[in-house]
Amino acid sequence: MAMLTNALSWVRSLQVRHFTHQQEVPEKYREDGILTGYRLSNQPWRYYIGSLFQIHNETLNVWTHLIGLFIIWYALGQYFLIYDWWTDKDSWPMLTFGICCSLTHFLSSVAHLLHSKNLYVHHLVFMIDFIGVVLFAFGTGVLAMYSCSDKEMYMILRPFFLYVLAFLTWFNHAFFCFALLCFSGGPQVVKRRALQVAALLVEVVLIFIPFFPRYYKCFVNPDCSLRSFDHITLTFPAFGAQAFFFLSQIPERFFPGKFDIVGHSHQIFHICATIAQLLQMRAVHQDIQNGVSSHAQPDLSAMLTVLAILICCSIGSICVLQNYIPCSLKKGKTK
């Protein structure tokens, strides 16, 4: 009983005791249409850790990613019952993708949980969060090349695809961080997000190249139905929905203050991301079963090595770019 009492006291000590209005927090914390539920700045770390169990405007941003993480792990566990991750080369792209998605969810949940500490931490944790964001794109590219690609296009791209994909991923991360430094908070958020989506579109074009010939060959073949690609095509609306809610800030944009806690666009964006990831794994599973990826020769050690180097390079970018966080913001970093 004494241990239970002490545990409850510890949990109560973690609890967030006060939230504040949009006008009472720095502009860089503000989101259009989100008027209340902001956490106080410059509080002890336990204040923000404890906010995981409190109701504020970041609660569901954190939990949609944490729940998404466990959903991805569950899905990987189900595929683990089908494939031998250690010897089945067809499953290696999905394993790499699963690692990327796990990092996406974990890093984003940490960023949303801790960013209100102060403006320096705000910038730093979102730079780290961007590693997860671009790794989602990297993992998608791995699936496109090694699980869903057209055979002839695969042979053309094979010598350099993985390295070009990694470079574009690193570049996008650096660009995301730069955009954060230049356009952060208030009305500038939309401009920053538009630039980030535009940068990702270049990588999206590269990701489309390996498997798009399959659609073309089917289109010109009277004996082939495009419905045979529905398992892949279903992922497109999920990606479109992510971009829409990420950029539009709907519904809170039209109903300020009504979706501060539940239902605002960034929460929906997170849910769409998880749905897209599940649809991607489902599509890859179906292509494997259909023998589509039999021509591919994925190298697990090469993919994981490139992934590790990519993460290290992105961390290096953060180490450089964090020096350009305005000095006025750095003053609060040790509080």
In order, the DSSP letters of 88-140 are -GGGHHHHHHHHHHHHHHHHHHHHHHHTTS-HHHHHHHHHHHHHHHHHHHHHH
Q: Give how far Cα 83 sits from Cα of 7, 46, 88, 90, Å.
A: 42, 42, 6, 8
Q: Taking the CA atoms of the chain, what radius of gyration do you get in angstroms?
A: 21
Local structure of 261: helix, strand or coil: coil
Question: In 10 A of CB 110, how many CB atoms?
Answer: 17
Low-confidence ranges of the chain (pLDDT < 50): 7-8, 10-17, 332-335
φ, ψ at 19 (rounded to 5°): -120, 165
Question: In 10 A of CB 216, how many CB atoms?
Answer: 10
pLDDT at 146: 97
Burial class (CB in 10 A: 0-12, 13-18, 19+), 235: buried
DSSP class of residue 263 equals S
- Sign of dihedral through CA atoms 159, 163, 165, 168? negative
In the chain, the amino acid numbered 216 is Y
In the beta sheet, which residues pair with residue 34?
31
DSSP class of residue 323 equals G
User: Of 124, 147, 300, which Cα lies nearest the Cα of 210?
Assistant: 147
In the beta sheet, which residues pair with residue 19?
39
Q: Tokens in use for 225? A: 């139905």
CB 185 within 8 A of CB 121: no
pLDDT at 2: 63
CB 145 within 8 A of CB 210: yes
Q: Which residue has the tokens 């489309």?
A: 208
pLDDT at 48: 95
pLDDT at 152: 96
pLDDT at 16: 42
Q: Which residue has the tokens 């991805």?
A: 72
In the beta sheet, which residues pair with residue 20?
38
pLDDT at 13: 46
Cβ neighbours of residue 242 under 8 Å, at least 6 residues apart? 269, 272, 273, 276
Cβ neighbours of residue 154 under 8 Å, at least 6 residues apart? 145, 210, 295, 296
pLDDT at 243: 93
Query: Is the pTM here over 0.85, yes or no?
Result: yes
Q: Give how far Cα 97 sits from Cα of 104, 121, 201, 321, Å.
A: 10, 28, 19, 27
